Amino acid sequence: METDYYSLYDLLLEKWEFYSFTSMINCGIRISSYFNDLHFHGLCHHNFSLNTFWARPDNGDVLVLNDRFVFPENNTCKIASDARYMAPSIVTGGKPKYLTDRFSLAVCLFMLFVRTHPLEGVRTLSVPEMNDYYLQLCYGSDPIFIADPTDRSNGPSKEIGGVRNYFKRWPVLSANMQNMFIRAFSKEAMLKNEKLYPSEKEWQRTLLQYRSFFVKCPVCGKETYVEGSRNATCKCCGKQYPVYGAFSVNTYVFPIVKGGGIFSEHIDDFSDSVAQFDPKRISIVRVNSKKGIIALENISDSRWSFKKKDGQFGTVKPGEYVTLSDGMEIKISSTSVSVSLT
């Protein structure tokens, strides 16, 4: 075991922490990518827990353990696993499949970002003893999400140990992230239609959009959250700094700020031809405040083309800059990036 990787189970015990939200989100994207690659090859995981994944705090790189429990989806082998990570259909006697893996993925991501179990609220944690009856009830026949918008009978409580993390961490998630968890742990998905569980691709894209809202404050240099295209206030130093507009590419919309830019994953949009997620910056936003110039530097290995609203067009070689203007389109590979300036 490489010493700079740490178990996600120990993360839950507060034995270590990610250096930044960006590295934590990268970890989530890598876990989603692992499941996507697994299912792309017709495989599923029969024995899953937080100890399956070990991560690096600095960049969110992931090691996967226990891959000896990976089998083809139609394999009849059943491995005894922890009910806390199993889909309700398995707890009540069903077999693992790619859809039940999607439930386990959602559990892992919830515990990664919220640091508590999605089904362990006041009802689950107040049972007299977690015997077979209550295990079947709370994780199998009648699971209730702690953030269920219509059923609060198993909601979080500030009086219960790790569940307190919910009150600090749930509000930090973007609305899209919250909605993905609400969908994953809805009674409709858990008890009636497992096809409603968010897919690996949906998680990859939602997480990338979430990550795109985290930028370095140009005043204090620390990571802060920016959603929208108006001037922002740093959550760390409290200073205001300019947001110049937004990039739109594929399904992603994210702010144009000094030092920000576009990553390769915005362009390839998690193509199945890219098996291993590896974040790669391909551009940097440069700003000359005195001249009022906002430019994008090409730090990729390929030539771009662009077309401005007034009809001007051209190319941008690696190492060159293009001045951004409202309504312009930048073509990177075969993907168009739209620029909207405020």
pLDDT tens, position by position, 57-110: 999 999 988 666 677 766 655 555 688 999 999 999 988 889 999 999 999 999
Domain ranges of the chain: 6-207, 219-341
Arch. (CATH architecture) of 219-341: Sandwich (2.60)
List the one residue out of 128, 109, 130 whose CA is nearest residue 52: 109
What pTM did the predictor assign?
0.94
Q: CA–CA separation, 306 vs 3, rounded Å? A: 46
Going through the chain in order, the beta strands assigned E by DSSP cover 6-7, 43-45, 53-55, 62-64, 70-72, 214-216, 223-225, 232-233, 240-241, 245-249, 252-256, 283-288, 293-298, 304-307, 313-316, 321-323, 329-332, 335-341
Residue-level pLDDT at 260: 93
Residue 297 confidence (pLDDT) above 60? yes
Residue 246 confidence (pLDDT) above 50? yes
- Residue range 129-155: mean pLDDT, rounded: 96
Residue position matching structure tokens 């000359």:
288
More confidently predicted of 157 and 190? 190
Residue-level pLDDT at 77: 59
More confidently predicted of 74 and 250? 250
* Fold category of 6-207 in CATH: Transferase(Phosphotransferase); domain 1 (1.10.510)
